[in-house]
Chain A
Amino acid sequence: MEKTLKMIQSVSSSCTKIDAADVMVSVDKKDLHKVCEALYKDGWDYLINLTAVDNVENIEIVYHISKSSDMEKFMVLKTNTTDVENPIIETVSDIWKSANLYEREAYDFFGVRFLNHPDMRRLFLRPDWVGYPLRKNYDNTPNEGIPSKVHDMDACEDVPSITLDRHGEIVENHTKLFGRNEYVVNFGPQHPSTHGVLHLRVSLEGETIKKIDPNFGYIHRGIEKMMESMTYPQMLFLTERLDYLCGSMNRHALCMCVEKAMGLEIPKRAEYIRTIFDELNRIASHLIGWACMCNDMGSITAFIYGMRDREKIMDIFQETAGGRLMTNYYVIGGVAQDIHPNFVNRVKEFIPYLRKMIKEYHTLFTGNPIARGRMINCGLLKKEDAIALGMSGPNGRASGWHCDVRKIAPYAAYSEVDFKEILHDGGDTIDRYMIRLEEIEESLKIIEQLIDKIPEGDFRAKVPAIVKVPAGEYYQRVENARGDFGVYLKSTGDKSPYRIKFRSPSMVAVSGLDPICRDTKIADLIMIGGSLDYVIPCIDR
């Protein structure tokens, strides 16, 4: 890491190292683009997350970067602008493609405009929305007005951007989203196959897709802003409502983030229980992912089968935690209550049952020549594209990218179990389809290894009545069913966070729709969307 630091210092004189433990570097905004280019050339090609923070006297942009070839490497790059009224920072979306949506999000929430970014529209809120909600001076009391007109259906939407002219002056440019002669179809927000309320504008030439413009925000609930006025135990409830299909894992991320920051030691028993719950939740999520994808392709049988077997997991959850979809089980310091006496037996019965069922799924659907004909060589995603878009998780692994956080930075009890990271190298729809079924089997293996070894002892550590996180910045990654889920937490030592941001693996999956679907048929869009398995409320937060 010293080498990287020296490399950055050679490019930029303004670089300062902030933290000794992790590499946390601050650069002047003038040198930002140069530094990022140098980092990219040095192999730092995976931008995990990009966040803005309003520090009142300045606005800070935080970049979390990693190397795709060596995923254990992790660094934080920061820059800031003191011009709070009209903040402008150079874009890095030409270096890392994944920055495109993150920067639009920063504009939407903080009003930070990015120089040379091709598309500075709002990402979540309506174009006529006034103010930037995550600014500290924003009045976030719920207002009465409910808009009555549907916006954003206009294909000729104006796309603003800012660039520098030859004299170094800032000029605003306006282009149109789609050309006058393009044939644009609105797909969503109410559509049974969008897996939530996603709105896509699809430009077609005959039946062939030429361009897709995703429009988010139909389920933007302002979770991040709400959390800034909540205590840490209260916040946990909302994490499960982000990506409801892997609620436990999201909650795990926030719990771990707070625990690490407080230096809490978690009892072994709680770690084992959490790992088993995470894996059960992953199975439930993959089952829904598989069931819905097959349903999108016209196989109702698969949908019914997947949902039927998922109910067994819901039973296990319900017995121990009390909840079905939202288990509300993890708390800071461990789990809320001990496991039910039946838990171990139920899980043991479930493992061979699901193994048998997966064989049935393969005979019923995987081998179906019509399904195979549609899936093979359709929706190709190359490994380089997956990395550039930051598309981690099963989608990235289907393209051959080793990106499993459970392997890279093992947490909970993952370092004690033996499991394989499933990698495919085709990157087409069938690879993404197969990887989910194969991951279910790996998850079963993990559970099998742990279920008999749950250690005796406390299920919850002693936690102070009022949870206060020491001042500082923390980032915690977990592997949820869709990929690399992250929590960025900035605390000032108070009982509620100063800024919290969730890195959504679904957002990068949707940003991949445009490159993947170009020149495929519109009918395949549904299937490819199903294979990417995104959850919209996690994107919109």
Chain B
Amino acid sequence: MEVKDIKIKSMKTEDFRDNESLQKYIDELEKGGFGIKVAPLDKVINWGRSYSVWPLTFATSCCGIEFMCVAAARHDFARFGFEVTRNSPRQADVIFVSGTITKKMAPVLRRLYDEMSEPKYVIAVGGCAVSGGPFKSSYHVVDGVDKIIPVDVYVPGCPPRPEAMLYAMMQLQRKIRVESIFKMPKNPENGSVILSKYNSDGTLVTPASETKQIEEGGAE
């Protein structure tokens, strides 16, 4: 599948800036037998899914105010299908991690993520959630929320403008469009099923654990 086949109502494909990385993502999925050809039924389902992504009301600090602005009158993310925020993780599809995640908050965020039902997505909003941001050198801050939960879209900024968040939402919609909810991605080498976000022992695949494995392998 090509990136240009993903049609989003609000923006043209060529207006998106990082189509290459999305193409790479699609290629990876195809290698795993995930989205070789999106079936017509998938297309219909994905169309529906991508326009009804409901975020969880979650904010820890400053970026939360900009998140409120996106939800409120002027920017109004309901236009893009992000309709309403949900207060319970059970009812939410996407979690906007807006704000710094501290060592004390990290397990709470992880629990919230675990409580959300699949399929679920994560958008890391702001410098703090992306990498620790201005608080990277602090003793009590998690440097990057991807150490705890897998992240789908990163939005840099301190805090990001509402427009940047809308852009991130549309990127997420495009990602949703290429998935198939009927197929499980397979490992191209041995044909075993790879669960999207879990390791074989049931633990979560996080970039941190992946890099660790790579580093260990390199040392040998």
Which residues of A does B touch, CB under 8 Å?
124-126, 133, 138, 140-143, 146-152, 189-192, 196-197, 217-223, 225-226, 229, 237-238, 241, 244-245, 288, 303-305, 307-308, 310-311, 314, 324-326, 536-537
Q: Please state if B100 and A221 are interface contacts (CB–CB under 8 Å).
A: yes
Q: Which 6 A-B pairs have the closest CB atoms?
A: A307-B72, A308-B73, A244-B62, A222-B138, A192-B57, A150-B107
Question: For residue A245, which residue of chain B has the nearest CB?
Answer: B65
Question: For residue A309, which residue of chain B has the nearest CB?
Answer: B73
Q: How large is the interface on B (under 10, 10 to 19, 20 to 34, 35 or more residues)?
A: 35 or more
Q: Is B36 an interface residue (CB 8 A)?
A: no
Known: A190-B108, A324-B66. A222 touches B141 (CB 8 A): yes
A-B contact pairs, 20 of them (CB 8 A): A125-B104, A140-B138, A142-B143, A146-B106, A146-B148, A150-B107, A189-B105, A190-B108, A192-B57, A192-B87, A196-B60, A221-B140, A225-B139, A226-B135, A241-B134, A310-B69, A325-B65, A325-B66, A326-B62, A326-B158
Chain A residue contacts of B132, Cβ below 8 A: 142
Query: Among B59, B60, B68, B104, which residue has the most Cβ atoms of chain A within 10 A?
Result: B104
Q: How far is the CB of A141 from chain B (nearest CB, A)?
A: 7
Chain A residue contacts of B135, Cβ below 8 A: 221-223, 226
Q: How far is the CB of B159 from chain A (nearest CB, A)?
A: 6
Known: A133-B139, A142-B138, A307-B73. A126 touches B103 (CB 8 A): yes
Q: Please state if A142 and B107 are interface contacts (CB–CB under 8 Å).
A: no
Prevailing SS type, chain B contact patch? loop
Q: Is B112 an interface residue (CB 8 A)?
A: yes
Q: Is B111 an interface residue (CB 8 A)?
A: yes
Question: For residue B68, which residue of chain A has the nearest CB?
Answer: A307
Q: Please state if B69 and A146 are interface contacts (CB–CB under 8 Å).
A: no
Chain A residue contacts of B150, Cβ below 8 A: none
Q: Is B169 an interface residue (CB 8 A)?
A: no
Partner of A142, one of B72, B104, B137: B137
Q: Please state if A147 and B106 are interface contacts (CB–CB under 8 Å).
A: yes
Q: Please state if B61 and A189 are interface contacts (CB–CB under 8 Å).
A: no
The total number of A-B Cβ pairs within 8 Å is 132
Chain A residue contacts of B107, Cβ below 8 A: 147-151
Known: A189-B108, A219-B105, A303-B72. A241 touches B62 (CB 8 A): yes
Q: How far is the CB of B69 from chain A (nearest CB, A)?
A: 6
Partner of A197, one of B87, B105, B142: B105
Chain A residue contacts of B108, Cβ below 8 A: 150, 189-190, 197, 218
CA distance A225 to B139 in the complex (A): 9
Known: A192-B57, A226-B135. A288 touches B73 (CB 8 A): no
Q: How far is the CB of B24 from chain A (nearest CB, A)?
A: 28
CA distance A351 to B82 in the complex (A): 33
CA distance A226 to B59 in the complex (A): 23
Q: How far is the CB of A145 from chain B (nearest CB, A)?
A: 8
CA distance A310 to B73 in the complex (A): 10
Q: Please state if B102 and A221 are interface contacts (CB–CB under 8 Å).
A: yes
Other than the given A142-B138, A537-B100, 5 more pairs (CB < 8 A) read A125-B104, A190-B108, A221-B102, A307-B74, A324-B161
Question: For residue A143, which residue of chain B has the nearest CB?
Answer: B139
Known: A244-B65, A308-B72. A221 touches B161 (CB 8 A): no
CA distance A223 to B139 in the complex (A): 10
CA distance A220 to B141 in the complex (A): 8
Q: How far is the CB of A417 from chain B (nearest CB, A)?
A: 28
Q: Is B136 an interface residue (CB 8 A)?
A: yes
Chain B residue contacts of A124, Cβ below 8 A: 104
Question: For residue B85, which residue of chain A has the nearest CB?
Answer: A192
Question: For residue B62, which residue of chain A has the nearest CB?
Answer: A244
> In B68-102, which residues have CB < 8 Å from any A CB?
68-69, 72-74, 85, 87, 89, 99-100, 102
Q: Please state if A304 and B65 are interface contacts (CB–CB under 8 Å).
A: no
Question: For residue B106, which residue of chain A has the nearest CB?
Answer: A146
Q: How far is the CB of B164 from chain A (nearest CB, A)?
A: 11
CA distance A142 to B136 in the complex (A): 8
Q: Is B4 an interface residue (CB 8 A)?
A: no
Q: Please state if A220 and B61 are interface contacts (CB–CB under 8 Å).
A: no
Chain B residue contacts of A288, Cβ below 8 A: 65, 68
Chain B residue contacts of A192, Cβ below 8 A: 57, 85, 87
Q: How far is the CB of A235 from chain B (nearest CB, A)?
A: 11
Q: Is B110 an interface residue (CB 8 A)?
A: yes
Q: How far is the CB of B168 from chain A (nearest CB, A)?
A: 17
Q: Is B43 an interface residue (CB 8 A)?
A: no
Q: Please state if B139 and A219 are interface contacts (CB–CB under 8 Å).
A: no
Q: Is B186 an interface residue (CB 8 A)?
A: no
Q: How far is the CB of B107 from chain A (nearest CB, A)?
A: 4
Chain B residue contacts of A191, Cβ below 8 A: 87
CA distance A229 to B138 in the complex (A): 11
CA distance A453 to B74 in the complex (A): 32
Chain A residue contacts of B87, Cβ below 8 A: 191-192
Question: For residue A303, which residue of chain B has the nearest CB?
Answer: B72
Known: A142-B141, A326-B159. A217 touches B104 (CB 8 A): yes
Question: For residue A229, which residue of chain B has the nearest CB?
Answer: B137
Chain B residue contacts of A149, Cβ below 8 A: 107
CA distance A218 to B103 in the complex (A): 8
CA distance A181 to B55 in the complex (A): 38
Question: For residue A234, which residue of chain B has the nearest CB?
Answer: B134
Chain A residue contacts of B105, Cβ below 8 A: 189, 197, 218-219
